[in-house]
Structure 1
Amino acid sequence: MCEDARDIGRRGLFVTGAAAAVTVAGAGFAAADGPDRETRTVRGTLPTGSPDFVYVPVEVPRGVRELRVSYTYDRPAVPAGTAGNALDIGLFDERGTGLGGRGFRGWSGGARSEFFVRADDATPGYLPGPVRPGTWHVALGPYTVAPQGLAYELTVTLTYGEPGAAVRPVYPPERARGRGRAWYRGDCHLHSTHSDGRRTPAAIGALARAAGLDFINTSEHNTMSGHAHWADVAGDDLLVLLGEEVTTRTGHVVALGTDPGTFVDWRYRARDDRFGRFARRIRRAGGLVVPAHPHATCIGCAWKFGFGEADAVEVWNGPWTPDDEVALASWDATLVAAVRDGRGWLPAMGSSDAHRDPDVVGLPQTVVLADDLTREAVLAGIRAGRSYVAESKDVSLVLGVSGGRGEHAGIGERLAVGRDTPVTVRLEVSGAPGGTVRLVTDQGVLFTGGPLPASGTGTVEWRTTPAYAAYVRAEVRRAATDPVVPGPLVAFTNPVFLGRD
């Protein structure tokens, strides 16, 4: 069977939004490999300025057991400072490509050159299920396009036969064996083989336990296919929360602790004014909205949506780098604005964003005061800001502020005393040998102490009033190697607010 290339050019390529003109350079069908298999190949070229997503329709007849897709694209040399070609890929079924993802069947970004779906199995990143008749769409995402354009070849193979038994997903439990109200350690930004990670869920679970973590959150790029593959990883000693890293063209956001099977669409930019709809989707699914690495320098990684819909923000992402320093300063400015405007504040988090060796799971980790080791309690602790961030299980902080009449407040809380009431700030540190302690307020760093002894343990006290410091938070840093730039973080806390509202 053959189809004229001009016909494919007229009706075989759909684009989103106010689409630029896009045509397919050529298309052809290979001879059938046998009575039970049929292959079609489509070739085309995308110019610079292409839409973010291009949908190639595939007419699927009845009786198909498996749909398999492979693709290649050219990578021509480009001048220094110019982006080369990068083409992502995914799949939508006969229910369509509408925003919201009703027809979503999987996404692998640029991590794979081939995938399949069928009723009883699918490539990681994709959802098993029946291959029903109708118009399916292979989604192409030209992440960057070279000046020469992006030439691609897409091959679709349909295998006919009985569909096989459907898979019934099993999800991890929402509770692990906790210690009651206690501090629990977690890493909420991790990638497995279900997106662009190179570690299996089992391998990540083993590394999480070795890092002393009590909970983790799954966060694959633009897919929830991995949700049903973590039940065997969870246990009495490890709570596995489910989520997604919603990877848009103008920033990434971690959907943290959502209901099993929750899909959050990513096919919009900040200028489209659609993020609020999907932030509400995350919260309706019981999760938190956490912008990730907001000042990262990779293309499309920096957060452009603002923080009005956020429940927390990932200030520290992986090993400490200059963009984390910028994120910390930017987040601190939001605390000042919250005090000034008398509104709610945005808690800070830290996660590893680990993908593969040598990425360290649990560097850093968010340490949360929660009523128990359950999904509900952990998310409540994060939302309330009852947490600090540390580089490893060896580092612990205790920050509290006390008034003269026995009043006391800890991290994420408010010490409601008068403006001129003297208060004492006390910080206990362990696991940070040689570290420097800094107490930060809305005015800036008002106390510096250290270095801590070789044991890594120390206690500092500082006195102030709510009139002088609207909040206080703590940092522990390594020695600076530059007279202008502070040393790398070892740990930092969310604030304690001072004074009555």
Structure 2
Amino acid sequence: MLIDLHTHSTASDGTDSPAALMRAAAGAGLDVVALTDHDTVAGHAEALAALPRGLTLVTGTEFSCRMDGIGLHLLGYLYDPDEPELARERQLVRDDRVPRAQAMVARLRELGVDITWERVRELAQGVVGRPHIAAAMVEAGVIGSVSDAFAPEWIGDDGRAHVGKHELDVFTAIRLIKAAGGVSVFAHPAAAHRGAVVPLPAIAELAAAGLDGIEVDHMDHDPATRAALRALAGDLRLLPTGSSDYHGERKTIRLGEHTTAPEVYEELVDRASGGAPVTG
């Protein structure tokens, strides 16, 4: 049973439409896939309508959060998307995306980078995020790859052209996801190349606050890091998940390249009361 619990579509910063992503997941041999676009549920209806026979969809969201001044991502699964307080916070983050991206483009232009807001918006074909700015920079020949943009010289955290965004306090996010009947998992907690990370001992505070799991098997974690995270998950009684964090053509990772164990998935589903997986 192949289970991939972290993917993105054009509803945020992926390159596959939600429908195309479902077809790709089935083609990759997945049994279960979670659609976890950034700070939105906008792709869920299309994904459900296009769900191939035999493929199970887990609805979710990757929430932008902050802890002690450090940005992090929290995966919320199978929560009630209509829960008012969580929906309001999700919208605040979404509403901040356009002015934030426009401000970063302006800063880059001040640094001599010849990109335009109009081109960034065209590349996004929907919700704009940093990867679309990075794609415009690649197109302009400023950098060699999208990942190069996330260095301190450019739009990485604390970078020269970086602009902060509205983010949920992580303890508030855990509480709201749980109140909406969902399950929360700390995404790629040790992805240090993205910027500062939450110290591993601090994850105990999140577990005490109701965190359900941590993403262990991820492309940004080397074998030693995965071993340390798996041990930590055992010590804290957290669910150790695995996933591709698929973004389509924007990243080289393939669907199902990292997966979640069936028994972990079953426990995750058992803990959720705000929604249930749907099988085509």
Q: TM-score range by the shorter chain?
A: 0.5 to 0.7
Distance in 2 (CA, whole Å) between partners of 1:235 and 1:206 is 7
Aligned residue number for residue 20 of structure 1: none
1:275 to 160, 164, 170: 170
**1:276/1:381 Cα in 2 relative to 1: closer, same or farther (>3 Å)?**
closer
Aligned residue number for residue 225 of structure 1: 42
Distance in 2 (CA, whole Å) between partners of 1:278 and 1:214 is 29
Distance in 2 (CA, whole Å) between partners of 1:301 and 1:222 is 21
**1:326/1:278 Cα in 2 relative to 1: closer, same or farther (>3 Å)?**
same
User: Which blocks of at least 5 consecutive residues in structure 1 are unaligned?
Assistant: 1-183, 339-344, 383-501
1:204 to 6, 11, 21: 21
Shift in Å, 1:198: 0.6
TM-score by length of 1: 0.33
1:348 to 229, 235, 240: 240
**1:297/1:378 Cα in 2 relative to 1: closer, same or farther (>3 Å)?**
closer
Contact 1:252 / 1:301 at 8 angstroms: preserved in 2?
A: no
Within 5 Å, give how 1:232-251 maps onto structure 2. 232-249=49-66, 250-251=71-72
Shift in Å, 1:241: 1.6
Contact 1:190 / 1:217 at 8 angstroms: preserved in 2?
A: yes
Give aligned-pair identity as a percent.
Answer: 29
Shift in Å, 1:275: 2.4
User: Which blocks of at least 5 consecutive residues in structure 2 are unaligned?
Assistant: 94-165, 273-280
Contact 1:246 / 1:253 at 8 angstroms: preserved in 2?
A: yes
Shift in Å, 1:223: 1.8
Distance in 2 (CA, whole Å) between partners of 1:215 and 1:297 is 28
Aligned residue number for residue 79 of structure 2: 258
**1:331/1:366 Cα in 2 relative to 1: closer, same or farther (>3 Å)?**
closer
**1:190/1:275 Cα in 2 relative to 1: closer, same or farther (>3 Å)?**
same
**1:330/1:240 Cα in 2 relative to 1: closer, same or farther (>3 Å)?**
closer
2:228 maps to amino acid: A
**1:334/1:255 Cα in 2 relative to 1: closer, same or farther (>3 Å)?**
closer
Within 5 Å, give how 1:369-408 maps onto structure 2. 369=263, 379-380=269-270
Structure number with larger C-alpha Rg: 1
1:310 to 184, 196, 211: 211
Shift in Å, 1:229: 1.9
TM-score by length of 2: 0.56
Aligned residue number for residue 4 of structure 2: 187
Distance in 1 (CA, whole Å) between partners of 2:268 and 2:213 is 13
SS of 2:63 mapped into structure 1: strand
More helix, by proportion: 2
**1:333/1:231 Cα in 2 relative to 1: closer, same or farther (>3 Å)?**
closer
Distance in 2 (CA, whole Å) between partners of 1:255 and 1:332 is 22
Within 5 Å, give how 1:63-102 maps onto structure 2. none
**1:199/1:347 Cα in 2 relative to 1: closer, same or farther (>3 Å)?**
same
Distance in 2 (CA, whole Å) between partners of 1:188 and 1:301 is 24
Within 5 Å, give how 1:97-176 maps onto structure 2. none
